[in-house]
Amino acid sequence: MSRAGGPSFDPRDLLLYHVTDSQLSLPRTVPEVVEAAVAGGTTMIQVRGKTMTGRQVLELVCEVARRVGDRVPILVNDRVDVYLAARERGAQVAGVHVGQSDIPVADVRALCGPGAIVGLSSASAEESAAIAALPAGTVDYAGIGPVHATGTKPDHAQPLGVEGFREALERCPVPAVAIGGVEVTDARSLMKAGARGLAVVSGICAAEDPQRAAANYREAMGQ
């Protein structure tokens, strides 16, 4: 979906989508893990800082963008204000990912403009289907999950499993990634179910070797 005046969204960038976590990354920094993950084959980064201040998230986003923004798209989780501030600073940030309880995605699109990549979380077939009711171009991709229970988001919805993911995807009008406790062993079945990619948090953040971990996911996906 190409948009004049901004980056083109390429669904191929969803292939291995790394979502950051500062605690799981310790003793390394998030930028260090991100650099290793990109070297291993990560194709998109979402910077998430649920417990961080706005200033901290902004600085982190700018540092991640400085290191890898010229190689992969960098998205900001939830914080439209951080995305706009980072863009104002000249950082290579590509867009925002929001959940169902965040600012309505139509408002996110209005605030971020036509050039931004905008993603939306979906935890059910009903939420996926609702995307079709939005104006065309509001949402570029969906993150469907959780596939499995995950400690990185304690308040997550009921896990879907691979079959539940498939059902939600069938009603989703935009490309989608599978997220939530996705392990290397899930890669083949989720891709076969129609996922355009896998969104991975702990499988990369908590790995002893994030570069090797990312490469393992790519290999398991046949990519």
Q: Is 78 a known ligand-binding residue?
A: yes
> Looking at the domain assignment, is residue 65 inside a domain?
yes
The tens digit of pLDDT for each residue in 142-186 reads 999 999 987 665 565 689 999 999 999 999 999 999 999 999 999
- Is residue 2 in some structural domain? no
User: Residue 80 falls within a domain, yes or no?
Assistant: yes
Residue 102 assigned as binding residue: yes
The answer to whether 181 is a known ligand-binding residue is yes
The response to whether 48 counts as a known ligand-binding position is yes
Structure tokens at 164: 């539940």
Q: Is 50 annotated as a binding residue?
A: yes
CB 43 within 8 A of CB 16: yes
Task: Compute the average pLDDT of residues 194-208.
Answer: 97
Q: What is the pTM of this model?
A: 0.92
pLDDT of residue 94: 97
- Which of 88-92, 147-151, 218-222 is predicted with the least confidence, judged by mean pLDDT? 147-151
Quote the CA–CA distance of 183 and 202 in Å, as a whole number: 9
CATH number of 53's domain? 3.20.20.70
Give φ, ψ of 65 to 5 degrees: -65, -35
Percent over 70 (pLDDT), the chain: 94
**Measured between alpha carbons, how far is 145 from 17 in angstroms, rounded to an integer?**
14
What is the model's pLDDT at position 150?
72
Q: Is residue 15 part of a domain?
A: yes
201 is annotated as contributing to ligand binding: yes
Is 202 part of a structural domain of the chain?
A: yes
On whether 46 is known to bind a ligand per the annotation, the reply is yes
Q: Is 20 among the annotated ligand-binding positions?
A: no
Instruction: Calculate the average pLDDT of the chain.
Output: 93
In a domain, 90, yes or no: yes
Determine whether the annotation assigns residue 216 to a binding site.
no
Is 47 annotated in some ligand binding site? yes
Give the bridge partners for 75, in sequence order. 46, 95
Output 79 or 4, whichever has higher pLDDT: 79
Rounded to an integer, what distance in angstroms lies between the CA atom of residue 124 and that of residue 137?
21
Per-residue pLDDT tens digits for 13-50: 999 999 999 999 999 999 999 999 999 999 999 999 98
Is position 1 within any domain? no
User: Is residue 188 included in any domain, yes or no?
Assistant: yes
Residue found by looking up tokens 């790995």 in the block? 207
153 is in an annotated binding site: yes
- Asked whether the predicted pLDDT for residue 5 surpasses 60, the reply is no
Q: Is 68 annotated as a binding residue?
A: no
Question: Is 57 labelled as part of a ligand binding site?
Answer: no
Query: Would the pLDDT of 75 be above 90?
Result: yes
Helix (H) or strand (E) holding 43: none
pLDDT at 2: 33
Q: Cβ contacts of residue 51 below 8 Å, gap of 6+? A: none
Please compute the mean of the pLDDT values over residues 51-71 and round it to a whole number: 97
Backbone angles phi, psi at 175, to 5 degrees: -60, 150
Provide the pLDDT confidence category of residue 4 given band limits of 50, 70 and 90.
very low
Total domain count for the chain? 1
Task: Kindly report the length of the chain.
Answer: 223
Domain span at residue 113 reads 11-220
Q: What angle do CA 73, 219, 188 make, to 5 degrees?
A: 95
Please give the Cα distance from 113 to 152 (Å, whole number): 30
Q: Is 122 annotated as a binding residue?
A: no
